[in-house]
Amino acid sequence: MPSALILIADGTEEMEFTITYDTLVRAGVACTSAYVSADSDTASTTQTTPSFAKGSRGINILPDTYFSPQAHVPDNFDLLVIPGGAKGAETISKNSPVQHLVREYIKNGKYVGMICAGSLAALTAGLEKQPLTSHPSVKSHLEKDFIYSEQPVVVSGRLVTSRGPGTTFPFALTLVELLCGSAKRAEVAGPMVFPPGTCE
């Protein structure tokens, strides 16, 4: 069974987190959500389970665990997902252990998915120049260092990027296809009953 690590922080965009998580689960992917604290010294906490992450629209989401650079290595997951939401994406993309793991996942042939402002992690991790996309609000931060695209979903080797809440379903389904194949993508998408042409 493929597995995915989905990061979350205070200010993460709820749709990008929940739709991606839900769609992957529907495909049989084992998902783990990990809370990235704005306080980088999360190792000092005595709690094993984080409190609620407050999303960008004020919705509380309970992550499965704290983010751990030691536990969440590419040996343990097939996919790393970084959602957007301005505040959450800033917290996640500026976290140096996350930056290191982004590079390690790519280096080890695992997939990394970034959506919306989450694509800033490609910059802070120092990934090589390649095609990507993001929310328009952070385009100016990325277009000098990457081959910027305005396609809904951009696949560049092991890096998968997308634009925002409205592109989350095609983003998540693309991740399903990469992990589980095109037949599984069609199987998952069918019961969701998308309007024709919206998630092809």
Q: Give catalytic residue positions.
A: 16, 116, 135
Q: Are 155 and 130 in contact (CB under 8 A)?
A: no
